[in-house]
Amino acid sequence: MPWYILKQPDGRFAAFSSVVDNFEMCDAELDEALDYCRDRMGRYEAAAKVDRGANDEPLENLGAPSAADGLNRWRRSLETVALIHGAAALRATLARFEGLDEAARGGWAREALAALPAGEVRP
């Protein structure tokens, strides 16, 4: 699973790469997410991949969903950015999401950092 689609808190879509452990696309509407996927795979596979993201289907080998709000893929992605790249990179990544105001970005950063083991995140 080198990349997957997820739903952002504002209802838009993003693509997260498990190769670079960061977002490749953000703030996409449904048709833009479908186009992004179609450029990388077949038409039917693209629709299925976007559906899995829209429905927040669990990701392989990442444990059970932590909440029933449809944003578990979002949480996992932010936690990965924080763990691999550090807290500053997480904040910079969140700044790219236009649909999130400053308070929302801060809240998501705090939640992602709190979910990780103490001492595991670089500043």
Domain ranges of the chain: 3-55+67-114
DSSP 63-77: -S-S-SSS-HHHHHH
Residue 96 is which amino acid? R
Per-residue pLDDT, 65: 57
Lookup result for tokens 């629709």: 47
pLDDT at residue 25, rounded to an integer: 95
Residue found under tokens 């997260």: 16
Which segments in the chain show pLDDT lower than 50?
none
Determine the residue type at 37.
C
Assigned token pair, 97:
């999401």
- Count of beta carbons in the 10 Å neighbourhood of residue 82: 25
Q: In Å, what is the CA distance from 38 to each residue of 11, 71, 93?
A: 20, 23, 25
pLDDT of residue 53: 92
Q: What pLDDT is attached to residue 86?
A: 87
pLDDT at position 42, please? 85
